[in-house]
Structure 1
């Protein structure tokens, strides 16, 4: 099974994206999954460190062959899609990982409090809250990698990894923040 880097809530921060990708590369991640809010910081957020949406688009486009999925966040728009060379406008995606379904969304429609129909052992992934989560609840795996640019609730900037053993939230310094095993 190929290791998957899960990145959310970049909000135009080339600094945060590059740090997450550097760590994911060190961890041996071969694929990338993007959970929305890629380019724009949004009207409620401050400008993140290294705010450069065009550079974020350039970096993501340079890795488009690694991107296995990307969903639209509440700050993403059709204008953003004009800069990105892969589809980002779907509200959600359903991916298969062996026998497990991965329901992937940003989190502003479906969320951990408003789950779609899933089966025991499936994974629900969202971003949006900028707060990391890695837990198993009522037979489902719930995961939020946090934000690479604007973390909340006192958490550090973070991204996620999916591998054969489970789901891990990692800091941009490479430390494990939280984990749930299969």
Structure 2
């Protein structure tokens, strides 16, 4: 199963749409915040995909939650924008929260800096910012053989 992971689109509908078109096999889209308006628009344009969303610090007036848990193919995913876990100052709080929730994967945004790493049983990914011509997004593949994270550059 492929999951498209995006964050910090900041009203760039064009980039979000292009990422969705570039990943036709992604069954699920997880938007990690700062882009509620365009994510809601894409939900209508891509009704065959499941959309999961959280509120970012720039999603003014949003009623979305600040974090979520999803389970696919037996793997538990903890996702958040990251500002409530101070990710701009390090990953300790977010990693601790993911471990407390018994997650296999931690997804977060907010910093606009893409990362994909593995730390003692936890896959950690920030897809970066999908805004502008140098935007990035992530793919998360969950297979019987394991989990693969990937950062994709839009340039």
TM-score range, shorter chain: 0.7 to 0.9
**Residue of structure 1 aligned with 2:138, choices 138, 145, 160:** 160
Question: Relative to 1, partners in 2 of residues 1:117 and 1:135: Cα closer, same or farther, differing over 3 Å?
Answer: closer
Residue 75 of structure 1: aligned partner: 58
* Conserved 8 A contact 1:121-1:139: no
Residue 45 of structure 1: aligned partner: none
Give the number of the structure whose alpha-carbon radius of gyration is greater. 1
Are 2:41 and 1:58 aligned?
yes
Superposition pairs for residues 83-122 of structure 1, below 5 Å?
89-110=64-85, 111=87, 112-115=91-94, 116-118=97-99, 122=104
How far apart, in 2, do the equivalents of 1:121 and 1:57 lie? 26
> Structure 2: where are the runs of 5+ without partners?
none
* SS of the residue 1:10 aligns to: coil
Question: Relative to 1, partners in 2 of residues 1:72 and 1:114: Cα closer, same or farther, differing over 3 Å?
Answer: same
**TM (normalized to structure 1)?**
0.69
Question: Relative to 1, partners in 2 of residues 1:117 and 1:32: Cα closer, same or farther, differing over 3 Å?
Answer: closer
Kindly state the Cα deviation for residue 57 of structure 1 after the two structures are TM-superposed.
4.4
Kindly state the Cα deviation for residue 162 of structure 1 after the two structures are TM-superposed.
1.2
Q: Provide the aligned length of Structure 1 versus Structure 2.
A: 144
How far apart, in 2, do the equivalents of 1:167 and 1:3 lie? 10
Kindly state the Cα deviation for residue 141 of structure 1 after the two structures are TM-superposed.
1.0
**Residue of structure 2 aligned with 1:38, choices 31, 35, 40:** 35
Kindly state the Cα deviation for residue 157 of structure 1 after the two structures are TM-superposed.
1.2
**Further displaced range: 5-14 or 163-172:** 163-172
> Structure 1: where are the runs of 5+ without partners?
40-52, 82-87, 174-182
**TM (normalized to structure 2)?**
0.79
* SS of the residue 1:59 aligns to: helix
* SS of the residue 2:110 aligns to: coil
How far apart, in 1, do the equivalents of 2:108 and 2:132 lie? 15
